Amino acid sequence: DAGVIQSPRHEVTEMGQEVTLRCKPISGHNSLFWYRQTMMRGLELLIYFNNNVPIDDSGMPEDRFSAKMPNASFSTLKIQPSEPRDSAVYFCASRQDRLRSPLHFGNGTRLTVT
Amino acid sequence: EDQVTQSPEALRLQEGESSSLNCSYTVSGLRGLFWYRQDPGKGPEFLFTLYSAGEEKEKERLKATLTKKESFLHITAPKPEDSATYLCAVPEDKIIFGKGTRLHILP
């Protein structure tokens, strides 16, 4: 089992540029979550999907953020245009859609916007 | 709004010095609680699920307990390799995480 795979591991970009983060969940997991982690705010849920359908995107900070899950094995989180305050570590996690099933996290993408 | 609060924010212990981390929550109809460990530069790693008040789970030097209002992660005779950030989370639909306790074990 390869676990949740995220790419890239690090991303440095200039303000105003588009950023795309990628995630491959664990095979057989049908729920996928995107989180953002900062020292100040901890882990914040941005959006989650069940069976490729977005269920709750109330954590997406603004319209500059969008997420897609075109199939069961791939999801993207896009920021356009990026701003310095978007700098954080972005985590993707997946789980089986079963009550109390734990999340399994990738190793994150560290985003720096200058 | 559902909230999860962890304390202390940071804890430094000498090797072998036992202690406890706290996770308190305000969630109606609690359906269990998760504990995770996070090492620098990595994603959180699942440790335990506690399903109901009174339940306990153990793994090596860690023991997690759950009451109706809070959970404790007890660390017995810790070693430097136990240094990490420990996170708790409530498994509601959104899976809400606390901000974590940064634990540092001094050799």
Question: In percent, how much of chain B has pLDDT > 90?
Answer: 78
Answer whether A45 sits within 8 Å of B49, measured CB to CB: no
- What is the reported pLDDT for B80? 97
Which residues, listed in sequence order, are joined to residue A104 by a DSSP beta bridge? Answer: A94
What separation in angstroms does the CA of A26 have from each of A32, A74, A92, B90? Answer: 9, 10, 11, 21
Of A48, A101, A105, the CB nearest to B43: A105
Across the range A67-81, mean pLDDT stands at 97
**Chain A contacts of B97, Cβ < 8 Å?**
35, 42-43
pLDDT over 90 (residue A22): yes
Residues of A contacting chain B (CB within 8 angstroms)? 4, 33, 35, 41-43, 45, 48, 55-56, 59, 91, 93, 99-108
Higher local confidence (pLDDT), B58 or B3: B58
pLDDT in tens, B31-82: 789 999 999 999 999 999 998 889 999 999 999 999 888 999 999 999 999 9
Residue B95 in contact with residue A47, Cβ under 8 Å?
Answer: no
Local confidence band at B2 (pLDDT 50, 70, 90 cut-offs): low
Phi, psi of B82 (to 5 degrees): -80, -5
Query: What DSSP state is assigned to residue A103?
Result: P
Does residue A87 register a pLDDT over 80? yes
What's the whole-number mean pLDDT along residues B19-31? Answer: 85
Cβ–Cβ under 8 Å, residues B35 and B47: yes
Residues of B in CB contact (< 8 Å) with A are 31-32, 34, 41-46, 49, 51, 87, 89, 91, 93-100
Query: What pLDDT sits at residue A83?
Result: 96
